[in-house]
Amino acid sequence: MKRFSIFSVAVLLLIAVGAADLATAGEGSLLGYRAKRKAQMLPWNAGYYSASWGMPLALVVPPTAERQVNWGWGVGNTRVTPIYHQYRRDYAGPGQYQRGMFRPTPAWPSDTLQFGTYYARGPW
């Protein structure tokens, strides 16, 4: 009976440590790994440029930020989505982008993604 209780305490301790790792978005955590993998498959912008900059604008948020809210006009068009993209300290500079690769903000935008400003997490 004592062996069973020690085993159950050890299992509960492992579950608690695993849940604490899931709750953080650190570089070595499960959420950090998932964000890095998803960021390699998805573009960091939605194809629109910021009217004030003429290019998509990366709004840098703290590295612990995990989610963003996207607002859309219409019934039920509010979404909470993960922030996958994060730049590293060895950032090489701007990429080879041209303004013609992106669309301007529509005259009547229907979503906050169309304003050309997108979240990117800062480095650890």
Question: Which residue type occupies 22?
Answer: L
CA dist 58 and 52 (Å) reads 13
The arithmetic mean of pLDDT across residues 96-117, rounded, is 89
DSSP conformation class of 45 = S
Q: How far apart, in Å, do the first and last CA atoms of the chain sit?
A: 46
Look over the chain and give the mean of its residue pLDDT values, rounded to a whole number: 80
Residue whose structure tokens are 């950090």: 32
- The pLDDT, as a whole number, for residue 87 is 79
How high is the pLDDT of residue 30?
Answer: 77
Rounded Cα gap, residues 7 and 1, in angstroms: 10
pLDDT in tens, 59-85: 999 988 889 999 998 778 899 999 988
